[in-house]
Amino acid sequence: MSNEPLYNAIQSFYHRFLPFFKQNELSLVFTDERGKILFSKLLQQDNPAITSEKIFHLIPEDFLLQKQKIPDNTNQVFKGKIVNPELLDSLINWYYLVKPIQNNQGDILGFLFIFTTEQEFSQLLTSLIQPFANIIEEDVQNKELQMNLNISKDFFEIISKNSQDGILYLDKYAKVKYMNEMAGEILHVNPQQSIGQYVGNIVDFEPVILSVFKTKKGYVDREFIIHSPNWGTLHFIKTAIIVKDDCGHFAGVVDFFREISRVRKFVTSYIGAQAKFCFNDIIGDNKQLRECIRISRLAARSNSNVLILGETGTGKEMIAQAIHYEGNRRDGPFVTINCGAIPRELAESELFGYEPGSFTGADKKGRPGKFELAHGGTLFLDEIGELPLTLQMKLLRVIQERQIMRIGGIRQISFNVRIIAASNKDLQKEVQQGRFRNDLYHRINVIRINLPSLRNRKEDIPLLIDHLNRKLSNKLERDMPLISSSFVNPLLKYEFPGNVRELENIIERALNLCENNIINSQYLPKEIFDTQFIVEPSSMEENKRQHILNILAQTDWNLTKAAYKLNLSRPTLYHYLKKWNLSKQNYYTR
């Protein structure tokens, strides 16, 4: 503890009782807990110097070294007569009294010395020194309290001014005692002008904090949605702490609240709801893939809905992340939901959220849906073709109105979300067969991106193998091995039903099995060599013929689509069909 409160307290005490000390020719000395003199007032004429070394011998050693604490409620006074001239020669035959000064915990703060020439007055002072000590102790404690209060006030001001939470302190009458700047910003009120006012008079809605004044019970992290006539919907996460006086009676409430948008931003950051891929991460020189990336870059500049179509494993989410990452929503969350991976009965609550107690097994606090969590960013609806028709209708309405209502809720919650949907199905065919709503299809199909399968961009396989070898070697913390042509060539003939994801698994498997620095064909899975997946063209002509047949099969012999995928004109495609005597009928009957 600093000596300043002690010094100030004893000085104040001396000046307060100066007439008494002068009238009775009393001298006063005050030391700290180790005998160092902090204050000395000697009234005798020769005014001798009393050093700490000399005064040290008047204090019992156990107390001086604080080997023990003085028991509570003990009037401990040490007294005696100075008879040793070597100690204090100018105070020889003077009487002295010593009283330890303590704090509330019984620790010794210092020692009060009073010197007198008369033995009778020394006996009188024995009864007075305890009240004197009480006055000093109380003064020291008050000064310490004031000092701590000042420090606490400064500390509180620093915390409250820099807090991202609104902080509101209300007395037992619900009048504002304190409000920080963030609280004023959230509530749209002036903090200084609000001091002393009833909380219900400073806002244009019924303050939810008033319920605490009725129940006298606080709460932690409770969600509130409030309608303000002037400011619209106010959405908070709040914590209310009850304040009690020394007698344990209700004395007010401290209210901490944060806008839901800040909470969402923290949550999405915490759970990793951020895009990590950009367009430079997409590997390949295939012409159709480059066209997909070109369209995706254009899509990144807008907020229009995007539909990505492609087989499983072609990198639909990677394209979606790149669109978000390089768009104007990059600082917002990127939230993904796989519509085919959640049970149908839970899909609605996952998308739109639910209120507390909405259904059996629901979280008691309720839960926001993916649309709320994606506010200000992008919501990626993967495998949207798996949604049941009833939910498709609700999804359409939500996308149109830009508002959701939680299950069991009564209020609409607005959101600002960019929709990117993806499917491995032909959604046009799904619409024709009644499994996907036509109006929802057109709502999400503003910008469409058709990702090519890996078997239609086989020129990219060597590039992908090299990239995945480097990436996965680093992941597995091993030296990057050499890839032999015996490993690559069979992959160039393989049809890859699992696309790039399957290729990545093949490379990772080989890296785990390889015990030397060369990966060759022995590390390929058996199915790569299965003849049903191998194309063995006898010539360049046969290779081209087989490639065209594959594309025609994928497009169900839609010649316009096939020509687009082959990057051929329709007359050129007709030329090849005539040349090789190919038709849909003889293809399926062969």
Confidence of residue 45 (pLDDT cuts 50, 70, 90): very low
Q: Which CATH architecture has domain 271-447?
A: 3-Layer(aba) Sandwich (3.40)
Choice among 332-336, 399-403, 408-412, 528-532 with the minimum mean pLDDT = 528-532
Judged against a pLDDT cut of 80, whether residue 84 lies above it is answered with: no
For residue 243, the model assigns a pLDDT of 86
- In sign, the C-alpha dihedral spanning 485, 486, 492, 496 is negative
The DSSP bridge pattern shows strands 418-423 and 95-102 to be unpaired
For residue 579, the model assigns a pLDDT of 80
Q: Say how far apart CA 67 and CA 172 lie, in whole Å.
A: 47
Confidence of residue 158 (pLDDT cuts 50, 70, 90): low
Task: Name the range with the highest mean pLDDT among 58-67, 391-400, 519-528.
Answer: 391-400
Q: Coil, helix or strand for 397?
A: helix
Choice among 82-96, 213-227, 343-357, 487-501 with the minimum mean pLDDT = 82-96
Confidence of residue 53 (pLDDT cuts 50, 70, 90): low
For residue 40, the model assigns a pLDDT of 80
Percent of the chain scoring above 70 in pLDDT: 83
Q: Which residue's structure tokens are 């010197």?
A: 115
Residue of 17 and 302 predicted with greater confidence: 302
For residue 448, the model assigns a pLDDT of 95
Tokens of 245: 């006086």
Residue of 140 and 249 predicted with greater confidence: 249
Q: What residue type is 527 in one-letter code?
A: E
Judged against a pLDDT cut of 60, whether residue 47 lies above it is answered with: no
Judged against a pLDDT cut of 90, whether residue 431 lies above it is answered with: yes
Q: Say how far apart CA 41 and CA 174 lie, in whole Å.
A: 53
Q: Give whole-number Cα distances, 449 to 284, 337, 385, 565, in Å.
A: 16, 19, 16, 13
Tokens of 512: 């785990």
Residue of 225 and 294 predicted with greater confidence: 294
Judged against a pLDDT cut of 70, whether residue 264 lies above it is answered with: no
Judged against a pLDDT cut of 60, whether residue 536 lies above it is answered with: no
Confidence of residue 286 (pLDDT cuts 50, 70, 90): very high
* Average pLDDT estimate for 381-397: 92
CB of 447 within 8 A of CB of 304? yes
Where along the chain do the CATH 3.40.50.300 domains lie?
271-447
CB of 506 within 8 A of CB of 498? no
Where along the chain do the CATH 1.10.10 domains lie?
540-589
Choice among 88-102, 185-199, 330-344, 387-401 with the minimum mean pLDDT = 88-102
Where along the chain do the CATH 1.10.8.60 domains lie?
454-533
Judged against a pLDDT cut of 60, whether residue 220 lies above it is answered with: yes
Q: Give whole-number Cα distances, 283 to 287, 450, 454, 457, in Å.
A: 12, 16, 12, 11
Residue of 104 and 436 predicted with greater confidence: 436
Closest CA to 373 of 318, 423, 334: 334
Q: Which CATH architecture has domain 454-533?
A: Orthogonal Bundle (1.10)
Tokens of 70: 């003085």
CB of 281 within 8 A of CB of 350? no
Confidence of residue 305 (pLDDT cuts 50, 70, 90): very high
User: How far separated are the first and last CA of the chain, in Å rounded?
Assistant: 98
CATH tag, 540-589: 1.10.10
Judged against a pLDDT cut of 70, whether residue 404 lies above it is answered with: yes
Tokens of 258: 């944060």
Where along the chain do the CATH 3.30.450.40 domains lie?
4-154
Judged against a pLDDT cut of 60, whether residue 69 lies above it is answered with: no
Percent of the chain scoring above 90 in pLDDT: 26
Which residues, other chains included, contact 109 with Cβ-Cβ below 8 Å and sequence gap of 6+? Answer: 1, 6, 32, 33, 101, 102, 103, 137, 140
Choice among 63-72, 105-114, 480-489, 549-558 with the minimum mean pLDDT = 63-72
Where along the chain do the CATH 3.30.450.20 domains lie?
164-267
Helices (H), 115-176: 119-162
Tokens of 489: 């060539």
- Contacts of 31-37 with C-beta under 8 Å, sequence gap 24+, read 31/55, 31/59, 31/110, 31/111, 31/113, 32/3, 32/6, 32/109, 32/110, 33/64, 33/66, 33/107, 33/108, 33/109, 33/110, 33/111, 34/64, 34/65, 35/59, 35/64, 35/111
CATH tag, 164-267: 3.30.450.20
* Average pLDDT estimate for 431-451: 94
Q: What residue type is 144 in one-letter code?
A: E
4-154: CATH homologous superfamily?
Answer: GAF domain (3.30.450.40)
Residue of 346 and 313 predicted with greater confidence: 313
- In sign, the C-alpha dihedral spanning 65, 68, 73, 75 is negative
For residue 537, the model assigns a pLDDT of 43
Residue 365 backbone dihedrals phi, psi, to 5 degrees: -95, -5
Judged against a pLDDT cut of 70, whether residue 460 lies above it is answered with: yes
Judged against a pLDDT cut of 50, whether residue 318 lies above it is answered with: yes
For residue 430, the model assigns a pLDDT of 92
Residue of 482 and 18 predicted with greater confidence: 482
Closest CA to 574 of 541, 552, 550: 552
Total H helices, total E strands in the chain = 23, 21
Mean pLDDT estimate for the chain: 81
Which residues, other chains included, contact 487 with Cβ-Cβ below 8 Å and sequence gap of 6+? Answer: 510, 519, 520, 521, 523, 524
Choice among 6-10, 501-505, 583-587 with the minimum mean pLDDT = 583-587
Judged against a pLDDT cut of 60, whether residue 85 lies above it is answered with: yes
* Average pLDDT estimate for 280-299: 93
